[in-house]
Structure 1
Amino acid sequence: MTIKIKEFRNDINGLRAWAVIFVVLYHFNITGFSGGFIGVDVFFVISGFLMTKIIVSGFEKESFSFILFYLSRLIRILPALFSLCIFLLIIGWFWLPSIDYNNLSTHSLSAILFLSNIKFWREAGYFDAESHEKWLLHTWSLSVEMQFYIILPIMVLFLWKMGGKKAAILGLIFFSIISLLVSYYASPKWPTAAFFLFPARAWEMLAGGLTWFFSRRKKLTWHFELIGFSLIFYSVFFFDTYLDWPGLSALVPVLGCVLVLFSDRKNSILTGNFIAQTLGNWSYSLYLWHWPVVVFLSYGGFLSSHIYVLLGIITSIVLGATSYFLIEVPTRRALSNKSLVVKIAYSLSFVMMASLLSIVAIYQKYEGRINKDLELVASSSNDKNPNGEKCLAASGIKTDISNCILGKGDLKAIVLGDSHADAIVNSVVDSFNGNGSVLELAYAGCPTLIGAKRDGHDCEGFNKYAIEIISKIQQDIPVIIINRSSMYALGTLKGENPASLYGKPAVYFSKKYDSVTKESREEYISSIIHTSCEISKNRKVYLTTPVPEMNFDIPKKLSHDLMFNREIVDIFIEISDYHERNKDVIYAQNIARNNCGVEILDVTKYLCENNKCYGNKGTDVFYFDDDHLSELGNRKLSPMFSGALSR
């Protein structure tokens, strides 16, 4: 009893080539391919088509074997994936600092166990590493596909027993619609979950399965293949990451792929040519190996160099071809005539070896493995408030304030704000020298502004909750308000995530703005004044000026420079640039001081010198990313708080 596809379809192989081309060019930031990420969606449709064909054909002939089906999938996926993970773990041992190597190890384990989509979703918190720091980020799609492979035959069996082929078709249609609705609803509300998780992606694979069912009866003409490719190319050239994805937008490339599959043109010039067939054969290995090359170039700061990008693409193709000829093909040939027991043992050995090596790597502690300065600056990424997980709200869930009273002794101050408040709160605690405690009320990504709204955040609800808590506390306890205020008004810095907020207000009040306008700025200024005055009606209020934002993630920039044998330099911004970025906020704070008596605490007096605001001095790193002060950095503000609170 075997599980195999009897006929090789050139159009599917060629479509794979186009999909991997789009993904590779997108990841290498090639101009014009802003929607190249849809290549993954094309892969999903193809997988659904082929797996449904294998499963249903097996049921029709009463020859389907669950064990053989699952083994065939593991044998197809594991060898090349295993080789990639082992290669990266070996190279990483000699090159990556512990914080990065630990991440690589845990990601290798999740990839081998086909749980990486869930892993990356769970990691996608407020302080998550950027995508170009994750060597195996691209394996999320393999995990989604494997989860589909596990579920689909069970689902088809259940439907088949209910009513045969008709029930299977109706069931797939029903679950496709449900999944599409989940995708539509979740994409704007929970974009990370919608992107990574199976429920919002299943409809794409089920669309491929339904295509196989209906294309058995009738093929479409070549005109529909052209329409299909037109939809795919349109998505590649005109879509971008600003879209809620997958959502309904993914219907465009999915429909395009469906039309190409329906046409079944074996000798199409688009899919049947030599290059398309060659890249189609290499597509899986090329997909696996291209992303680590992208990450390597990102580490070195080479992604903006045309020469390095060209070399990176060529290297990806060479590595993909090598993996195909030395790993994929020999493995399939070696196991094609082996017994079931041998295949099971082979698959399990891959999983067990890779898992064991990943686990060992996770817990590695080897003194002197990496340059001490590199370890020191890289570890600054973790030099953050240890109470952040229990005190920093990030999803609209109210914090348990019993866990967020920091320090010892009587309550002496309340720190209210966003993640910058969480990053700085320990310097307020230190200012009391062990003779006072601080209540932290902080919500990542939300400014302390009454009525402020932000998509995906419960800013309005949290601010109401925080003000209600404060109103129940004795009035002689002051409030210190700390926010990354200018980001909410002006958007993120260039090159910073989320890119969709570059030059666009992050929060809104009466209406949303697509860009920064005079009206949006005036509304924001008024809100700062109004909120400050409201809170100061019954107690003393301190407003800190914004913390200087750096142009780089400081620990990563320094560690990457050391990894490429470059000298460490002191990273700074000019004080004039700081004042230009924050002029609206400082203006509003000064009006609030004049109108309501709030006190302004100027952080630049402690964080800046000689008209420069520093992110580091040598290996002393003052930020744990590009805008949040590290624990070392926030200690520079303790004298400021001590002086203010003792008056």
Structure 2
Amino acid sequence: MDYRRDIDGLRAIAVLPVVLFHAGFSWFSGGFVGVDVFFVISGFLITSLLAEDLRQGRFSIGRFYERRVRRILPALFLVILVCIPFAWIWMLPADFEDFAGSLSITIFLSNQFFMNEVDYFNTEADLQPLLHTWSLAVEEQYYLFFPPLLWLVWKTGRRGTLAIVSLLVAISLVVAVIGAATAPDLTFYFSPARFWEIGIGSICALLLLDRKRRQHGGATALGLALIAYAVVFYDKTVPMPSLWTLPPVLGTALVLLFGGSASPAGRLLCAAPVVGIGLISYSAYLWHQPLFAFARLYELSAPPPSLMLLLSVLSLMLAWLTWWFVERPFRRRKRPILPRRPVLFSSFAALGTVILAFGVWGYKSEGLPQRLPDRARAFAAFEEDRSPQRDLCLLTYRAPVPDLPLAGCGLPNASATNPDVVLIGDSHSNAFARQAQIALVEAGFATDALAYSGCPAIGGLVQLNRKSAEGCLDYQRQIVASARSRDAKAVIVSIRWPGYLSGYRYDNGEGGVEAGPTMTADLFDRYDEKRAPDDPQRRADVLAAYEAGLRDLSSEFAVVVVDPVPEVGWNVPRAAALCELQGRQSCRDGHSYNNYLDRNRPILQMLGRLEREGLIHRAKIAPAFCDTIPGGRCRMFDDEGRPLYFDDDHLAHTTGAVLIAPVIVDALRRALLVQEAL
């Protein structure tokens, strides 16, 4: 096929939004659709080359895969080899375990690994240097079956081939739509749900086969507009792949079918700077995520936008060097590096085997913690210091709310029959629930505890930008009904009160800024309105729903409310371990109690009012962590220097949770004494 400058320009339009999205710039909130653009371009180019070989009777599976090896592996393996020493030095065991698993990209299975381990839009994904290789795995899985399939159906003619490919595209799109509705996180990485995007590119190539392409400026401009719309207006809440993927995919198809240099839109794509970025787009795609991930791993606080912009530029510079010194020498027609096919295949197979073996070792060894000094390793281990009931007694959107009570979540009776008290809430509740249950049992109370991750848990509130809205509401109904049916005397409520109310994650004002999407809550009945985090009316409605929910509970149970857990802003075990690795001395100064008061003031006022009315009893846990005086500080470590948290806001099971358990027991005793006196 003839070279088209506009396609290289389109590659630039694809890669830049991806880079800036991963850099964290909000104006590219939908930049991840650049990958979808790449899929369509890839399908178009590969099918065009295959069709040309088939028409000329020179089709060769061996030659096809030689081209793929020369195109994909040299730059990919270079980036992997550069990443390994940085991962070895800077990564804590949990991160290194995931990194080791991602080395399955050497056999193009990293999408399968990430499908089971990493939510693409979760903040933990930002720390994965090879997260972006999932798309390479999807492409190569497509090209395992597509060339032989095209060879088999080629004799049916262009129309027959087009019909068969279109049928496969339709089937894949149906898989994507069903998956987006039932298991969106898994579907994101699922190859059969992505094949239709590459297939659209294949259809474009088949449509142009033996036909002269007609340039159309309006169609090209419309195609670019569809891509731009998705880049600017989509965000992490848009399910991908799904019908929402159609605009950027069809926009790319329009450019491929009608693009050229004859229109203003076409001339934009053909401009030298744009084409230049397109030429190095593959290497830019490879380099950007490792740069961003290692910057986030090294810094104790979120890297500033200026640094992320600088790293974005650096990724383009490294991309040019890689394109010039690695990609071109392997791909040139005359005297390429490793010119003989058997030597090429065996060389990369050997190197890939070594990398894969290293990955298996790192993964099976749980991140090779022995790499780290003893103190750093001890700090890092607290990232895993979570409730032993976390997997069983912390529900998520991934499965419907089961029939309650849930066996295994009660103490002393594991089946939780006839508990005196039920602990309800979100992951904050689950973090300390087992230690609280142990203390409550020692005080003579039978207990049950079940939480729902990311769920405000009372008042008909749900979190926006989450897939858990219906499950959260169902949990609220069922947990209260279950407590009622078992004649529970009391409930203990703990949620991340300020996060849902403000809509924003915590900024401690001292460089500790919690990463992640907004966590805005709203009434389920107003979910579709998607009110902004700082909407005053939304915040007023949430606060009113908090109060109404607690009043409703107080009409049936003695209610203990655990005051907001002091948030930190830094991942405490990670920060401590990195400080140890980097030899820093100023990492354990705590954080401001005034910030805690400012962030929680409306909540504490509301809880104080309900307490004065005798409707609730508060477990006032702040004094366990903070000097509760103006200008006081809140600590992150216990008296033995151990982290009180397993991240930046959840209490560690063996330290922070133990600290507040007696406070909760005392509050429950007061609540039941008052109830008995009525």
TM-score (norm 2): 0.82
Equivalent position of 1:577 in the other structure: 595
- Cα deviation, 1:176-205, whole Å, max 9, x if unaligned, reads 345445556655775534543334433322
Equivalent position of 2:390 in the other structure: 388
**Alignment partner of 1:207 is 2:200:** yes
Give the counterpart letter for 2:140 in structure 1: M
CA distance in 2, matches of 1:108, 1:138: 12
CA deviation after TM superposition for structure 1 residue 89, in Å: 1.8
Provide structure 1 residue ranges, at least 5 long, that are not aligned to the other structure. Answer: 1-5
Contact 1:604 1:613 in 2 (8 A): no
Q: 1:53 to 1:336 in 2, by over 3 A?
A: farther
Give the counterpart letter for 2:376 in structure 1: L
1:426 to 419, 434, 446: 434
Q: 1:386 to 1:231 in 2, by over 3 A?
A: same
Equivalent position of 2:36 in the other structure: 41
CA deviation after TM superposition for structure 1 residue 47, in Å: 0.7
2:497 to 473, 485, 509: 485
Contact 1:536 1:596 in 2 (8 A): no
CA distance in 1, matches of 2:312, 2:267: 24
Q: 1:346 to 1:437 in 2, by over 3 A?
A: farther
Q: 1:363 to 1:641 in 2, by over 3 A?
A: same
Equivalent position of 1:514 in the other structure: 531
Give the counterpart letter for 1:617 in structure 2: F
Equivalent position of 1:614 in the other structure: 634
- Cα deviation, 1:396-433, whole Å, max 9, x if unaligned, reads 43357212235679956422111111101122034247
CA distance in 2, matches of 1:367, 1:140: 26
CA distance in 2, matches of 1:174, 1:76: 29
- Cα deviation, 1:333-380, whole Å, max 9, x if unaligned, reads 5577524x5454344324322210111223458786334443333332
1:544 to 541, 553, 562: 562
CA deviation after TM superposition for structure 1 residue 640, in Å: 0.6
SS at 1:445's partner residue? coil
Equivalent position of 1:139 in the other structure: 133
Equivalent position of 2:467 in the other structure: 456
SS at 1:542's partner residue? strand
Give the counterpart letter for 2:449 in structure 1: E
CA distance in 1, matches of 2:152, 2:661: 65
Contact 2:138 2:191 in 1 (8 A): yes
The range that moved more, 600-609 or 527-536, is 527-536
Contact 1:95 1:370 in 2 (8 A): no
Contact 2:562 2:620 in 1 (8 A): yes
SS at 2:561's partner residue? strand
Q: 1:155 to 1:462 in 2, by over 3 A?
A: farther
Equivalent position of 1:21 in the other structure: 16
Give the counterpart letter for 1:131 in structure 2: A
- Cα deviation, 1:30-51, whole Å, max 9, x if unaligned, reads 6854544332222111111022
CA distance in 1, matches of 2:440, 2:370: 39
Q: 1:125 to 1:337 in 2, by over 3 A?
A: closer
- Cα deviation, 1:19-62, whole Å, max 9, x if unaligned, reads 32333344335685454433222211111102222444455556
Contact 1:562 1:568 in 2 (8 A): no
Contact 2:420 2:488 in 1 (8 A): no
The range that moved more, 85-94 or 351-360, is 85-94
CA distance in 2, matches of 1:469, 1:206: 50
Q: 1:563 to 1:180 in 2, by over 3 A?
A: farther
Equivalent position of 1:291 in the other structure: 289
CA distance in 2, matches of 1:288, 1:366: 25
SS at 1:213's partner residue? helix
CA distance in 2, matches of 1:366, 1:529: 48
- Identity percentage of aligned residues: 27
CA distance in 1, matches of 2:525, 2:343: 64
Contact 2:103 2:359 in 1 (8 A): yes
Note the 1:113-128 alignment, pairs <5 A: 113-124=107-118
SS at 2:280's partner residue? helix
**Alignment partner of 1:323 is 2:316:** no
SS at 1:644's partner residue? helix
CA deviation after TM superposition for structure 1 residue 264, in Å: 5.2
CA distance in 1, matches of 2:431, 2:283: 42
Contact 1:225 1:260 in 2 (8 A): yes
SS at 2:478's partner residue? helix
Give the counterpart letter for 2:406 in structure 1: I
Q: 1:331 to 1:164 in 2, by over 3 A?
A: same
Superposed CA RMSD in Å reads 3.6
Contact 1:422 1:442 in 2 (8 A): yes
CA distance in 2, matches of 1:148, 1:422: 42
CA deviation after TM superposition for structure 1 residue 211, in Å: 1.4
CA distance in 2, matches of 1:529, 1:235: 39
SS at 2:143's partner residue? helix
CA distance in 2, matches of 1:489, 1:38: 31
Equivalent position of 1:644 in the other structure: 667
CA distance in 1, matches of 2:384, 2:666: 29
The range that moved more, 15-24 or 416-425, is 15-24
CA deviation after TM superposition for structure 1 residue 456, in Å: 1.6
The range that moved more, 14-23 or 437-446, is 14-23
Contact 2:429 2:494 in 1 (8 A): yes
Equivalent position of 1:404 in the other structure: 409
Contact 1:36 1:236 in 2 (8 A): yes
Note the 1:111-510 alignment, pairs <5 A: 111-124=105-118, 129-153=123-147, 156=150, 163-180=156-173, 183=176, 191-216=184-209, 217-221=211-215, 223=217, 224-233=219-228, 235-236=230-231, 239-241=234-236, 243-263=238-258, 265=260, 269-272=267-270, 274-299=272-297, 300=299, 301=301, 303-304=303-304, 306=306, 308-309=307-308, 311-332=310-331, 334=336, 337-339=339-341, 341-364=342-365, 369-395=371-397, 396-398=399-401, 401-406=406-411, 413-432=421-440, 438-449=447-458, 451-454=460-463, 456-457=467-468, 458-476=471-489, 478-493=490-505, 496=514, 498-501=516-519, 504-509=520-525
- Cα deviation, 1:292-333, whole Å, max 9, x if unaligned, reads 112233332574263x44542443234323333444344445
CA distance in 2, matches of 1:100, 1:174: 41
- Cα deviation, 1:573-614, whole Å, max 9, x if unaligned, reads 444433343344334444554566432211213222244463
The range that moved more, 122-131 or 549-558, is 122-131
The range that moved more, 532-541 or 95-104, is 532-541
CA distance in 2, matches of 1:599, 1:579: 19
- Cα deviation, 1:48-92, whole Å, max 9, x if unaligned, reads 102222444455556544455445434432332223223222232
CA distance in 2, matches of 1:73, 1:436: 65
Contact 2:122 2:516 in 1 (8 A): no
Give the counterpart letter for 2:637 in structure 1: K
Equivalent position of 2:646 in the other structure: 624
CA deviation after TM superposition for structure 1 residue 389, in Å: 1.1
SS at 1:319's partner residue? helix
CA distance in 2, matches of 1:276, 1:528: 52
Contact 2:569 2:648 in 1 (8 A): yes
CA distance in 2, matches of 1:220, 1:233: 23
CA distance in 1, matches of 2:123, 2:411: 27
CA distance in 1, matches of 2:168, 2:600: 50
Q: 1:126 to 1:609 in 2, by over 3 A?
A: farther
CA distance in 1, matches of 2:133, 2:541: 44
Give the counterpart letter for 1:465 in structure 2: Q
Give the counterpart letter for 2:531 in structure 1: D
CA distance in 2, matches of 1:473, 1:239: 46
Equivalent position of 1:3 in the other structure: none
Give the counterpart letter for 1:600 in structure 2: R
TM-score (norm 1): 0.85
May I ask how many residue pairs the two structures share in their alignment?
Answer: 635
Q: 1:145 to 1:456 in 2, by over 3 A?
A: same
Q: 1:133 to 1:367 in 2, by over 3 A?
A: closer
Give the counterpart letter for 2:164 in structure 1: G
- Cα deviation, 1:127-148, whole Å, max 9, x if unaligned, reads 9653321111111221222222
